[in-house]
Amino acid sequence: MFLLYLIVNILIIGLFLYSKLLPYEERLTGTYKQAFSFFKSIFKPVLSLFSGIKPFQVGTGLSVDMTQILLLIILLVLNYFCI
C-alpha cells in the first residue's frame, strides 16, 4: 500500500513538472530530458484519452486545459485512498 502511495505522489509531481516544462521540451538536456521523456511517455497517452474535453474559458482569450486538472483530481483521489 505504501508503494502505491509513493508511486501516486511521484506521478503528481511528474504531472506538475510535465505541464510546466512541456513548452520548453526542446531546451532540456541530459538527465532532465530523460526524466521528462519518462513522464511524457506516461502522461501523453493518458491525456489523449481525455482530449475530447474542451478548455474552460476563464477570461477573454484565456482558457485552462481541463485534461491535466482532471488527471490531477484522479491522482489526488487515488492518493487519498492509499493512505
pLDDT value for 36: 94
Question: Is residue 79 scored above 80 in pLDDT?
Answer: yes
Please answer whether residues 55 and 75 qualify as being in contact, where contact means their C-beta atoms are separated by less than 8 angstroms.
no
pLDDT value of position 27? 95
18-77 pLDDT, tens digit per residue, is 999 999 999 999 999 999 999 999 999 999 998 888 888 999 989 888 999 999 999 999
- Dump the DSSP string for the chain: -HHHHHHHHHHHHHHHHHHHHGGGGGG--HHHHHHHHHHHHHHHHHHHHTTTSPPEEEETTEEE-HHHHHHHHHHHHHHHHH-
Count the domains in the chain.
Answer: 1
Phi and psi torsions of 61, nearest 5°: 70, 20
- Model pLDDT, residue 35: 93
Provide the residue range defining the domain that includes 19.
1-81
